[in-house]
Amino acid sequence: MDDLHQVNTIIATTICAFFKGHSDAQIGTEEAKLLAKQITQALEQAGLEISAANPTNAPP
């Protein structure tokens, strides 16, 4: 992973945004950050890598 902190931040932000619209279930920012770290660890253990897209190889 290119920037693990950035990946965790993106995942945590997405988790918070998901729960924002669910009044019956809420998650705090710190909980979302911990969950994001667990997700990235699980992806790494599965052998997956997250990296920035290479603009030169991006479709037009």
Within 10 Å of residue 51's Cβ, how many Cβ atoms?
Answer: 9
Instruction: Determine the pLDDT at residue 9.
Output: 93
Dist CA 8 CA 38 (whole Å)? 9
Of the CA atoms within 13 Å of residue 6, those in its CB half-sphere come to: 6
| Prediction pTM value | 0.76
More confident residue, 2 or 30: 30
Write the pLDDT tens digit of every residue in 5-60.
Answer: 899 999 999 999 999 888 888 899 999 999 999 999 999 999 998 887 776 665 65
